Structure 1
């Protein structure tokens, strides 16, 4: 069975299937990469809880940065957020994001209840 949570006409915020939760890409508010990353990860926390999951159950994360020169700044926030011993498979690349003010977008897949 496929469960779609917070579904809209274009996308769902969460799609659950076979014990896995697929989250739509999350962005955050703030002036800096660190601010946006913190806000983005807070939104991911809320969606994971809604999906019956948590940071410890993240299987994969894909991080898009508007500028790879922000890699270290984003990683400092990321590293503090990921629970020790529970680092997911992760990729990070540079991409033109949906709005010019956006500096980071994160897409997460996680095991769920």
Structure 2
């Protein structure tokens, strides 16, 4: 289906809609289509339509963050986004951070910052985070550190899982703009 055939969401029909421009990003096997819909009209404008290839991907590695503990990259950079693998509270030297959930969360954020810097991006360009906790009882303490790093409030999910790699209590992954 073509981007231009998408209808404008009805929630943008209200009086506050004049300040909004909604951007749709649709991925379709090998194609990326970015459209903007002006809430005052039913017209859409296609800004980008491209064919993605493996050559468009760059593996990101920095010595300023821990090496992957498995068969994956610290991040993958594409022309439109940087996909950061989950970071655990492990220092670049390979030492596990002990102590509070706050200390562990801070290390995860420092690792993400290093990976993003290597990719040419930064924490303020993060648009989505996924946080994994060993126990939701850690949520408030994790959140107090998280909000210091991500004051721009990117989209986020936070879930408790049974076990994380190396039996850590917190892991954070992110998607950022280049």
CA drift of 1:56 comes to 1.0
Q: How many residues align?
A: 109
**1:65 matched to which residue of 2?**
133
**CA separation in 2, counterparts of 1:50 and 1:68?**
31
**1:110 matched to which residue of 2?**
176
Structure 1 gaps of 5+ residues are none
CA RMSD across the alignment: 1.6
**CA separation in 1, counterparts of 2:121 and 2:106?**
19
TM-score normalised by the chain length of structure 2: 0.58
**CA separation in 1, counterparts of 2:82 and 2:125?**
10
**1:24 matched to which residue of 2?**
85
TM-score normalised by the chain length of structure 1: 0.89
Structure possessing the higher radius of gyration over alpha carbons = 2
Q: Deviations over 1:15-64 (max 9, x none)?
A: 01122100111011222211100011011111110011111110100000
Map residues 91-110 of structure 1 onto 2, 5 A cutoff.
Answer: 91-95=157-161, 96-100=163-167, 102-110=168-176
Q: Which moved more, 1:9-18 or 1:26-35?
A: 9-18
Map residues 37-56 of structure 1 onto 2, 5 A cutoff.
Answer: 37-56=105-124
1:10 equivalent to 2:71? Answer yes
**CA separation in 1, counterparts of 2:120 and 2:80?**
10
Q: Aligned with 2:143: secondary structure?
A: helix
Q: Deviations over 1:58-88 (max 9, x none)?
A: 01000000000010000000111123xx211
